[in-house]
Structure 1
């Protein structure tokens, strides 16, 4: 006969498999879109496929499995989840250019409808670097400096809304900084660079705040280790964004410089 622990273990495995299905479906849809796109256009870069798959796996690892389970009681695990869900996952997914792939697979009519949506005032407002930074970094300050953190672990609805906000805010912030997909409402490099520096400072200050002022229910030693993880790992991921942003700027300047010389 099955023991109580065996039944719990089997239920945990089944729950993990069920919760994994949406992520498997998303990856399948992306790969199918790549297959269809390759028949019509130039082959989709293989590295973008890898970025997308790893990005989705990072998101899945943050929401299901041992990290997600430990995050309820272990602040260090929670911080790993935060880094995967709100920073690394969105960065990798943005580098996979999902919107470009969608546009390549839509009919002309539907592609125009999507383009119209991307050009709307609402998208322009949400994807503006200042708005995106407030939603992303400001949301984290609200989470870790108010009762929202403890509420999140006592309500499945709050838990779901908070984590949905983290991944969406992280993605919007990333695409507002670096332009991989078509971006109708572009802002200057200097504005994005300034906002990125301010956002990085806000993230670092928050990590130090957590180090010195643990959220409710979090032990001092746990908060210190979690704050250090947030500080150093967050900087490492932000550094990738900085490098890409600067690369795009200098590449663009080099292109237009050559263009000007060719016309002179």
Structure 2
């Protein structure tokens, strides 16, 4: 049995610190669209909608009434986790921000960005295994140690953990589904296996918290929050799996069509 720990209000400063990068990203994305249009290169409206929706979910999760309640209620905290660490990253990945920025940048700067994206550092952190450890492993560390309680008592730790949740979720998403050109591509089989293992790790953690609430979290909140994490996480993961399988199917069908065409040309 865990006694409920009452935390003080999160305060305005941490909310503003967390809100700032998403506001900047929001502005940069639309500036890039304007520059791209000036270069006579249109940008799909649906990708813009993905960015607006994803950024909105992220901002709602880190600042405002929901963020305040999440500081006091584990169920709401878990809703914030789903928005900030899973749904917002997925939507923002689908918005293809890197492709847009490369279009908008001058050629020299675009080449520098492309070179950095091909670097060994990006290769390592964008690998599905590394991204999964940062994402799922980070959640295990947060909810099975006293880190969860410490987060609510230390402003710097609070900000760092929330940024980690978003960035780890974003890295994991781009490591599984390739929406933009990727220099370090992994096979579909490799990514599928990692996806299944990560999904299992996320689900097992949710079940573990149902029976073993984090320190300071009352049982009834842990039960509801764990179910929200389990079923809500599965829903987002299902979308990622659908996209991955669709990409795999399209690429396989294209390869088969090319081989068939090549065979016909050879026979003729």
When the two structures are superposed, what TM-score results if normalisation uses the length of structure 1?
0.91
Q: What secondary structure sits across from 1:186 in the alignment? A: coil
Q: CA deviation at 1:21?
A: 6.2
Cα RMSD, aligned residues only: 1.9
Deviation for aligned residue 1:160: 0.7
Whether 1:164 aligns to 2:167 is no
The gaps in structure 2 that reach 5 residues or longer are 1-10, 264-268
The residue number in structure 2 matching 1:5 is none
State the aligned residue count. Answer: 253
CA contact (8 A) 1:100 1:181 kept: yes
Query: What's the secondary structure of 2:148's corresponding residue?
Result: helix
Which structure has the higher relative contact order (CA within 8 Å, separation 6+)? 2
**Which residue number corresponds to residue 75 of structure 2?**
76
Q: Go from structure 1 to structure 2 and tell me whether the alpha carbon gap of 1:17 and 1:195 turns closer, same or farther (over 3 Å shift).
A: closer
Distance 1:17 1:188, change over 3 A: closer
Q: CA deviation at 1:57?
A: 0.5
Q: Would the alpha carbon gap of residues 138 and 66 (structure 1) be closer, same or farther in structure 2, given more than 3 Å must change?
A: same
Match of 2:59 in 1: 60
Deviation, structure 1 residue 73: 1.1
The ranges of structure 1 where at least 4 consecutive aligned residues each deviate by more than 6 angstroms after the TM superposition are 14-19
| CA gap 1:187/1:21 in 2 versus in 1, 3 angstroms | closer
Partner of 2:43: 44
Q: Deviations over 1:90-133 (max 9, x none)?
A: 00000000000111011221111111111111110100000000
Q: What are structure 1's unaligned runs of at least 5 residues?
A: 1-10
Partner of 2:6 in structure 1?
Answer: none
Gap change, CA 1:15 and 1:141, over 3 Å in 2: closer
Report the TM-score, using the length of structure 2 for normalisation: 0.90
C-alpha contact (below 8 Å) 1:99/1:182 kept by paired residues: no
Aligned partners of 2:102 and 2:110 also within 8 Å: yes
State how far apart, in whole Å, the 2-side matches of 1:225 and 1:111 are: 47
Q: 1:255 aligns to what? A: 254
2:210 aligned counterpart, secondary structure? helix
